[in-house]
Structure formats: structure tokens, C-alpha cells
Amino acid sequence: MSERLDRMDSERTTSSRKQQLSGIIAKLPENLKKAYERTPVDGLTDEQFNTLIGEVTTEVDGIVQATQQKGAIFGRPSATGGSGSQGGELTKEQKDAIAHRDNKPASGGQPF
């Protein structure tokens, strides 16, 4: 009976620890989350787990800060694909830039 209670307590502790770890790594992209999710938390003492949580928190904050400085954004793209003006008419400058052909005669024919 005592063994069964110990096992239930251990499972509850492991579940609680995994939830804590998931909360910390939630701001990472999926490919990095998977690596941290594989971290074993069962069998650790409270002191070891607290040390692990401190280290993981520091690493995750560093990763998030470094990627934000590089301009990476974690999240889903917007419904418009990030552009608010899709499908509009080209400006005269855009049409001229497209029509300009280096080393090609200015006749009305196709250059290809």
C-alpha cells in the first residue's frame, strides 16, 4: 500500500514539474520546445529540479531575446500574409521598372 502511494505521489510530482517546464518554454518555437520537453524531470530532488528550472528559464529568455534582436518573430502569420495592400494596381514607377530591359532594343517586341 505504501509503495502504491509513493508511486502516485511521484507521478503527481512529475506531472506538476512537466507543467512548470511547459509554462517556461511556451514562448519558444515548436522545434526548440521539443528538445526541452524531452528533459527528464522524474527522479530529480526538489533542489535539482529548482536548479534545472533556473537554468532553463535563463536559457529560454536568452534565446527569445537573441532571436527578437535578429528580427525573428515566433507566432502564426497574419491572415493577410503580413501585407495590407495585396492585389492593388502597380504604380507608374513599378511598371517602368518592370518594362526596363538592359541591352534590349526599345521596340514593342518581347525580349524573350
Mean predicted lDDT score pLDDT of the chain:
79
pLDDT, residue 57, reads: 93
Alpha-carbon span 65 to 59, nearest angstrom: 10
User: What is the phi/psi pair of residue 42, to 5°?
Assistant: -80, 145
pLDDT tens figures, 58-72: 999 998 888 877 776
Name which residue leads in pLDDT, 10 or 61.
61
pLDDT, residue 53, reads: 93
For residue 105, the 8-state DSSP code is -
Domain limits of the chain? Answer: 2-69
Buried residues in 6-22 as b, exposed as e (16+ CB within 10 A): eeeeeeeebeebeeebe
pLDDT, residue 11, reads: 86
Mind spelling out the 3-state secondary structure of 49-93?
HHHHHHHHHHHHHHHHHHHHHCCCCCCCCCCCCCCCCCCCCCCHH
- Which residue shows C-alpha cell 509513493? 6
- 47 SS3 class: helix
What integer is the mean pLDDT of 91-96?
82
Predicted model pTM: 0.55
pLDDT tens figures, 38-93: 888 888 889 999 999 999 999 999 988 888 777 766 666 666 555 555 567 888 88
pLDDT, residue 7, reads: 82
Alpha-carbon span 94 to 100, nearest angstrom: 10
What integer is the mean pLDDT of 14-37?
89
Distance from the Cα of residue 84 to its chain's centroid: 23
